[in-house]
Structure 1
Amino acid sequence: MSQGSNFVDYVKICCRSGRGGAGSAHLHRDKKTAKGGPDGGDGGRGGHIILKGNAQLWTLLHLKFRKHIIAKNGEPGGLSLRTGKDGDDEVLEVPLGTVAKDAETGEILFEITHDGETKILTPGGRGGLGNWHFKSSVRQTPRFAQPGEAGQERWMILELKILADVGLVGFPNAGKSTLLSVVSAAKPEIADYPFTTLVPNLGIVSYRDNRSFIMADIPGIIEGASKGKGLGYRFLRHIERNSVLLFTIPADTGRTISEEYKILLNELTEYNPELIDKPRILAITKSDLLDEELQNEMKESLPENVPSIFISSVAQKNITQLKDLIWSAIQQEP
C-alpha cells in the first residue's frame, strides 16, 4: 500500500460523453435505379464514460491529474442501411469501494464493489435514426433523418471507502499502527506522536489453515470528528465499509477504558447511526505495562456487551487469541 501523498481517496472530474452520430437521409441510387427508396443508416451512439472495478488498485491517485475525461463521438450512418460506428468508450479503472456522486447535487449514483464490475458514469448520446425508419405508405421517400443526441457533460466526484474485513478504531497513539505491523506484512509509519497515520493503511492478516482477512488502520478519531473537526470526517467514511470494528484503547489512557470507549462510540453514532449495528471487539493495547492485579482490577470496569481482550503488540501478548476473536466475528457477520 502506498504511503503518504500517494493515497488519494477523493477526486473531482469533468466527464464529457460522446455525441451520437447523425442518421443518414440517403436515397438509393445505382445504374439500374434512378429513384430508389430511402436507405440511410442509423448513426452510432456516442462513447460512454464507464467505471470498472479493479481489485489491484488501492487509491484514486491515477485520476488525480485527469480533470477532463472525454469519450469519442459516434459516427454518422451511411448508405445501404450502414450503421455508423459507435464512439469509443472511456473506461476508468477504480479501486473496489469507489462511490460515484453528482458533484452539483451530491446525489450518490452508484458504488463499485466487485472486481471487473462495470457501470456507466456518463452515458453517450444515442445515434440518430436513418431516413428508412420514416418511410410509410404516404411518405415513400423521406429526405430527412434524425440528428444524433448530444452527449452529457457533468462534474462527478469519486470517493473511496476502503473495503476491509476489520477496521481499527481509536484515538491517535492507541497503538493501531503497531498492531497492524505485527499481525500483517503492512509497514505503516510509526512514531510516538499523534496523527502519525494520515492515510488508511491496509494489511492482509494470515490466519489458521491458510485463511486470511484484511485489516485497515484508519487514522485516529478525535472528539468532534463527526462534526468535521480535524481530519476526522474524511476518515470516518472508511469505517462504513468494514464488517467488524476493532476498538483499540491503550492501557495507559488518561481516562477509564469505558469512558474512552463511549467517546469513540459516540463519534461513530453521530456520524452514521448504522455503524452501531456492526460487530465490535475491544482490545486494550500496551497491556504489557500492566501487572496481573491491575489488569484484573481494570476488567471489572470494562464496558459490557462487547468482547474484550488485553493485548500487547510489542510483547506479542494474546495476538493469536485476538485473531480468533476477529475471525469468529467476521464469520458471524450477516
Structure 2
Amino acid sequence: MSLSNYVDYLVAGAAYAGARLFGKMAQPANLTPLEAQSKLSPLVYRVLGANPGPFTLQGTNTYLIGSGAEKILIDTGEPNINEFTESLKSALKALGDAHISSIVCTHWHGDHVGGVNDVIKKVVGREIPVHKLKRKEQADAHGPPSGYSFVDDGHVFRTTGATLKAVYTPGHTSDHMILVLEEENAILSGDCILGEGTSVFEDLHTYMQSLAMLLNMNPSKIYPGHGPVIENPTERIQQYIDHRNEREEQIISFLSSRTADESVSSMDIVNGVYVGISAAVKLGAVGNVKHHLTKLLKEGRVSKVSSDQWRLARSSDKPDSSHL
C-alpha cells in the first residue's frame, strides 16, 4: 500500500469512527427534513430510529404496519437508543394504544436489527416473533432470547388491513428482503433503495438483479429503510441502475487513463472517480469499487495484479482463480 493510500485509509477510518461516535453531529447536510413520527398512509406509520449519520441519513426508518390495534413493526433501529424506544411507545399510543404483534427485519445490519431486544423489553414487554431471512455466512446477531423465526422468500405476513409479502432481494446483503404491501402495491425496500443518495452492497451482480426485479414490479411508491418516501419509484429504481452502470464505466475510464503496465488501488480509483464525497463515507465507496472490480474481473475486463492492485485486462492475461 502506498503512503498516500495509507493516509487516506487513516483519515477515512477516523472520519467514520467520529461520525459513529458523535451521531447527530454527523448527519449529512441538505437532507430532506423528516419528523420523528409520521403517518404516511392509513396502513403505514413511520418512526425514525433517532440514529442519523452519513450512512443512516436522517436515521433508520422503522414502520408500524396495519389499520387495527395489532401492528407489524418493520426493522428496529440500533441498540441502546432510548429516544427511539420512547418515540415508538408514543407512536403506539397515538395510534389508539396499539401494540406490536410481530417484528420483521429486512436484513442483518445493526441499524435494522440492533434494537430488537430493546423493543421487546422496553416497548412490547414480552417475547413476540421476530422474523427475517436466514443469513448463510454466519449466525445472525441481535435476535431475541428464543432466536429469530426465519422465513423463506414469498412468506406472507398479515395483520388487520395489511398483507405483506417477503421478496428475496440479495445484493445489499445476502439475506436482504423487501416487503410488498399488497393493499397499496407499495414496497418497503429496506436498504435496496434509499430515499436519498445510493446504497452500499455486498455483491454487485445480485444487487443489479434485485434492482431489475424491483423495476419490473412497478410499485406505486417505495417506503425506504432510510430517507423520505419515494413517490416516483420507477424513475428512482432506474436511476439506481443507471448510476451503477455509469460508475462502472467511470472505473474503466480511470483504468484506461493509466499506462499499460500501471496498476492502481481501489482507493486510487475512489480518489479519481468519487469527487467531493465526505471522508466519513469513503470506506463505503472503496467497498463499492472493490465489488465493481470483482464483477469486472469475472467478466475478464480487468486484471488483479496483487491483493488490491488493478489494471485493464490484456489479451495475454491468464485467468487466476486465486484472485477471485
- Normalized against structure 2, the TM-score is what? 0.26
Higher relative contact order (CA 8 A, sep 6+): 1
Larger Rg: 1
Q: Which protein is richer in helix relative to its size?
A: 2
Q: Give TM-score, length-normalised by structure 1.
A: 0.25
